């Protein structure tokens, strides 16, 4: 269920895997995405179960309507009956409010400056990385008192640079914006390494305490991969402060 979990100075980071939920194939088992065709009651049960295993109240988890953009929302409570905004990063200073990001190959990015009491979650696929959603999230954190040198950054399971094949022209376009994302597949064709791009962006901003999940979603049978399976579930990353 919770594939990876870490706590740093009162900030908590967690990434799920695909097991331990109630969804039927092809979303088995722990699909946390609400817009992929799975039964809503299964998604609700899965979100409840994941929150419980993290010691969180499922009603205090904030999700996004992710659109591969670079917009950021500052939140201080769950959306409730309000429409969930189309953003790819959320930031909060509210302790105990968990921020969640959904992925299946894209890079889930969790950020925290516990000293400032600011956390952020971002969804960085290839388009979002190129548009700068992660730097936008860091800037929003800085406006709320965070300092890059104090930020802890964790990126979760994502398709790796040796699996993410793209046309040569697309690789060139991405590399023109973020050279660190230039990659080659295991079989020698053009590829993009989105995680490497995200980490290069964070490094340039002065975020030094970074770690990247070793898991490649496309290669791992324990994780959802859109590129591998097309119709599939979504993993989640969660970040929150005590």
Complex with Zn ion: residue 112 or 160, whichever CB lies closer: 160
The gap between the terminal CA atoms of the chain, to the nearest Å, is 21
Complex with Zn ion: residue 163 or 196, whichever CB lies closer: 163
CA–CA distance, 113 with 152 (Å, rounded to integer)? 6
Complex with Zn ion: residue 122 or 163, whichever CB lies closer: 163
Complex with Zn ion: residue 158 or 241, whichever CB lies closer: 158
219 makes contact with Zn ion (CB under 5 A)? yes
**Which residue in this structure is represented by tokens 């898991």?**
215
Compute the least distance from the CB of residue 227 to Zn ion, in Å: 10
104 makes contact with Zn ion (CB under 5 A)? no
180 makes contact with Zn ion (CB under 5 A)? no
Hey, CA dihedral for 225, 230, 235, 237, is it positive or negative? positive
User: Which part of the chain contacts Zn ion (CB under 5 A), choosing from 81-89, 97-105, 166-174, 212-220?
Assistant: 212-220
| Residues forming a β-bridge with 158 | 216
216 makes contact with Zn ion (CB under 5 A)? yes
- Crossing angle between the packed helical segments 194-204 and 133-143, to the nearest 10 degrees: 30
Using CB under 5 A, which residues numbered 109 to 168 contact Zn ion? Answer: 160, 163
Three-state DSSP state, 35:
coil
The residues that touch Zn ion, with contacts defined as CB under 5 A, are 160, 163, 216, 219
């Amino acid at each position: 269920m919770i594939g990876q979990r870490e706590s740093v100075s009162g900030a908590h980071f967690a990434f799920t895997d695909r097991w331990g939920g109630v969804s039927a194939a092809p979303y088995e088992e722990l699909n946390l995405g609400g817009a992929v065709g799975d039964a809503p009651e299964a998604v609700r049960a899965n979100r409840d179960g994941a929150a419980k295993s993290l010691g969180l109240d499922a009603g205090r988890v904030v999700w996004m309507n992710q659109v591969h953009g670079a917009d950021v929302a500052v939140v201080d409570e769950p959306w409730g009956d309000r429409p969930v905004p189309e953003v790819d990063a959320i930031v909060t200073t509210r302790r105990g409010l968990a921020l969640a990001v959904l992925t299946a190959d894209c890079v889930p990015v969790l950020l925290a400056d516990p000293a400032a009491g600011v956390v952020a979650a971002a969804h960085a696929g290839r388009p979002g990385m190129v548009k700068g959603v992660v730097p936008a999230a860091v800037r929003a954190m800085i406006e709320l008192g965070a300092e890059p040198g104090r930020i802890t950054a964790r990126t979760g399971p994502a398709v790796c640079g040796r699996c993410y094949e793209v046309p040569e022209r697309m690789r060139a376009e991405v590399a023109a914006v973020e050279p660190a994302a230039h990659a080659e597949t295991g079989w020698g064709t053009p590829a993009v390494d989105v995680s490497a791009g995200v980490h290069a962006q964070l490094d340039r901003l002065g975020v030094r305490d970074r770690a990247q999940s070793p898991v490649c979603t496309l290669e791992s049978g324990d994780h959802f991969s859109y590129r591998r399976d097309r119709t599939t579930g979504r993993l989640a990353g969660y970040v929150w402060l005590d």
